[in-house]
Amino acid sequence: MFTKNILAALLLGSMNLSAQVSYIDYLSPFHPTIGQSGMVVSQNQASSDIGIQILDMGGNAVDAAVAVGFSLAITLPRAGNLGGGGFMLVYLKDEDKTIAVDFRSASPKNITQDDFLFLKNNYDQRRYGYKASGVPGTVAGLIQTHERYGKLPLRRILKPVINQARKGLDVSYDLNQAIGSAHQIALDVESTKLYLQDNNPVLEHSKMIRKDLAWTINEIAKNGDEAFYEGSIAKKIIQAMNENDGYMSAKDLREYQPRFSEPIKTTYRGLTVFAHPPPAGGAAVLLESLNILENFSVKNMGAQSAQFLHLLAEALQRGHMDRSRFMGDPEFYDVPIQKIISKKRASTLAKEINLASVTPPGDLNPDSLFYEGENTTHYSIVDKDGNAVSNTYTLGYSFGSGVTIPGTGILMDNQMNNFAYRYGEEGIIDRSASEGNKFEPGKRPMSTMTPVIVFDENNALKLISGSPGGALIPAAVLRVITGIIDFDLNLGEATMLPRIHKDWPYESLRIEKGISSDTKKVLESFGHELEESKTMGSTQSILISSQGTEGYADLRRPNAGVAIQVD
């Protein structure tokens, strides 16, 4: 009897232990947030929450995207913006239609040849101060997209954002550190008032009230984008430009318009990947890289193997080669985008790849086709009806040009730095000499911003993603897509895979912390010159899976967050 009792106790204990282990031992250490309705993933939790407020009001994904875009100008001032520009993809479920919205900043039209030479020869002048700013497109892009595809009145969706600006935000460690790293803030009187105290960044945990931004957003809520481009806000922008020798004119603002078009796309192992057309050059890198990878069987390689990372690097190098030479504003340059993202082009490039040896940049022929700051931000949104928005926008550098327009709270971009000022110089082959991206008045500079929307084999919405990171963006998004499609990883696992970046015509392969020493040795044996980075990008993604709607905010940058709608 005693023996039986012991056996029974051991058996019961074993069962309890088994039950406990099965409960604790989750499938992955990286847990997506799972919902069954609307979802918002952005680089700031408070802004994600505002997006859900809009969905709960009965708004759609576009309504939420507008509110989140304006909110991030408050909560993430280094990248969220009203004084910059970007690219957006909008998916309308009922129409089974995806629209690309280009609201990239544009060069002022009145820049003379002497102005061009000044910018070319004065690097800091095109990065910091009033001469550095292109004509901002964010407000026009968000508002005109809302006019076409939103449901709720503009005043209603911007009201929570105005209240957020009036109440202010608690200064986080991240914001305090970001201000401290942006030296151009101290070069501008208005920015100094807002972001510095006694020449130091505003203190962590202090309250930052944004009454100036509240006024600006309220003017837009009442009068739409006209307030920004012709009305009360425009007058403040132009007054400041005139007083500080800026290039932007009232005519530049008045004539700015976002561009609505069809996305570019490719298929990858049966799924369809939509991205933004030029001047979004990062999209071309992504699609071309996917097309190259499709020529190889990678499933058995392992997502973190040296062999797969080498293959990623080779594909990315070729994609960046074409971006560097042939990408620009399609209204000024005939971008051969369909050739760049064609399966034929990819097949030709794939045949040149040696699976055990790096291709030196000089061995690639960039002319064979014919015979960017890392402080951007991205957010992804889906509503309960299946409409989706993938939006990436930027000021360029962290805090852009450093200029804040007095009385408005609007930080201005520094996109005048993004043109190819060395075009025509003998012996220069990299992006600084790109014909497609050479400087011209009124032109929009090439960008690596890469918002994407992916559909499955049955044309059902599968993935919404994008990232900040300048030239690192295509590789970050590529890593998420291949992690999900090629290696069946969940969204968290795919997001947290160690990343790489291989540009052209540069020798080094940038690798992220987390890649094992053994893998590094193998990559070096293939001929790669390794350069370690701490982090690369910060993807904000939504995946539609058998479990429902999965959201994951990249852990590489703090304060990002997923917000879900609960019906």
In three-state form (DSSP H/G/I as H, E/B as E, the rest C), the secondary structure along 420-487 is ECCCCCCCCCCHHHCCCCECCCCCCCCECCCCEEEECCCCCEEEEECCCCHHHHHHHHHHHHHHHHCC
pLDDT digits 0-9 by tens, 169-212: 999 999 999 999 999 999 999 999 999 999 999 999 999 999 99
Average pLDDT estimate for 262-290: 97
pLDDT digits 0-9 by tens, 330-341: 999 999 999 999
pLDDT at residue 371 greater than cutoff 50: no
Show the DSSP H helices in 25-97 as ranges.
Answer: 45-56, 61-75
Answer whether 451's CB lies under 8 Å from 378's CB: yes
How far, in Å, CA of 440 to CA of 423, rounded? Answer: 11
pLDDT digits 0-9 by tens, 293-302: 999 999 999 9
- In this prediction, residue 567 carries a pLDDT of 76
How far, in Å, CA of 481 to CA of 487, rounded? Answer: 10
- In this prediction, residue 39 carries a pLDDT of 98
Answer whether 245's CB lies under 8 Å from 129's CB: no
pLDDT at residue 378 greater than cutoff 70: yes
The band of 222, judged by pLDDT with boundaries at 50, 70 and 90, is very high
- In this prediction, residue 374 carries a pLDDT of 63
pLDDT at residue 54 greater than cutoff 50: yes
CATH fold, domain 261-374+447-564, is Glutamine Phosphoribosylpyrophosphate, subunit 1, domain 1 (3.60.20)
Which residue(s) pair with 264 in the sheet? 275
Nearest to 554 by CA among 566, 537, 530: 537
Strand order in the sheet with 500-502: 500-502, 508-512, 529-533
Cβ contacts of residue 127 below 8 Å, gap of 6+?
184, 397, 401, 414, 417
- In this prediction, residue 47 carries a pLDDT of 98
Cβ contacts of residue 100 below 8 Å, gap of 6+?
87, 88, 89, 260, 261, 262, 263, 276, 277
The band of 325, judged by pLDDT with boundaries at 50, 70 and 90, is confident
In single-letter form, the type of residue at position 298 comes to V
Average pLDDT estimate for 86-110: 98
Which residue(s) pair with 393 in the sheet? 86, 377
- Residue with the bigger pLDDT between 514 and 540: it is 540
pLDDT at residue 21 greater than cutoff 80: no
Nearest to 344 by CA among 368, 309, 311, 317: 368
Token pair of 513 as six digits: 């912390």
Q: What is the CA radius of gyration of the chain?
A: 24
Please state, as a whole number, how many other Cβ atoms lie within 10 Å of the Cβ of residue 171: 18
Average pLDDT estimate for 507-518: 93
The band of 18, judged by pLDDT with boundaries at 50, 70 and 90, is very low
- In this prediction, residue 429 carries a pLDDT of 80
How far, in Å, CA of 469 to CA of 285, rounded? Answer: 14
- In this prediction, residue 428 carries a pLDDT of 82
Token pair of 60 as six digits: 């759609």
- In this prediction, residue 373 carries a pLDDT of 63
Nearest to 400 by CA among 431, 432, 437, 374: 374
The band of 367, judged by pLDDT with boundaries at 50, 70 and 90, is low
Q: Given the structure tokens 């990299």, which residue do they identify?
A: 430
Token pair of 381 as six digits: 């949104």
pLDDT at residue 228 greater than cutoff 90: yes
- In this prediction, residue 7 carries a pLDDT of 47
pLDDT at residue 124 greater than cutoff 70: yes
Domain boundaries, the chain: 46-85+102-260+379-433, 261-374+447-564
Residues serving a catalytic function are: 376
Strand 33-35 versus strand 540-545 pairing type: unpaired
pLDDT at residue 426 greater than cutoff 90: no
- What is the DSSP code (8-state) at residue 546? T
Average pLDDT estimate for 521-532: 96
H helices, E strands: number in the chain: 19, 23
Token pair of 525 as six digits: 């044996």
Show the DSSP H helices in 168-280 as ranges.
Answer: 173-181, 189-195, 211-223, 226-229, 232-243, 250-255
- In this prediction, residue 369 carries a pLDDT of 54
- In this prediction, residue 430 carries a pLDDT of 82
pLDDT at residue 63 greater than cutoff 70: yes
How far, in Å, CA of 532 to CA of 155, rounded? Answer: 47
pLDDT digits 0-9 by tens, 131-170: 999 999 999 999 999 999 999 999 999 999 999 999 999 9
Q: Given the structure tokens 């990248």, which residue do they identify?
A: 79
Answer whether 90's CB lies under 8 Å from 417's CB: no
In angstroms, what CA-CA distances link 280 with 85, 101, 106, 358?
12, 11, 13, 27
In angstroms, what CA-CA distances link 294 with 265, 287, 311?
14, 11, 11
Average pLDDT estimate for 62-68: 98
Average pLDDT estimate for 33-55: 97
- Residue with the bigger pLDDT between 518 and 430: it is 518
Q: Which residues of 503-531 are buried (b: 16+ CB within 10 A; e: fewer)?
A: bbbeeebbbbeebeeebbebbeebebeee
Dihedral sign (CA 312, 315, 317, 319): negative
- In this prediction, residue 1 carries a pLDDT of 47
Q: What is the mean pLDDT of the chain?
A: 93
pTM assigned to the model: 0.94
- In this prediction, residue 432 carries a pLDDT of 87
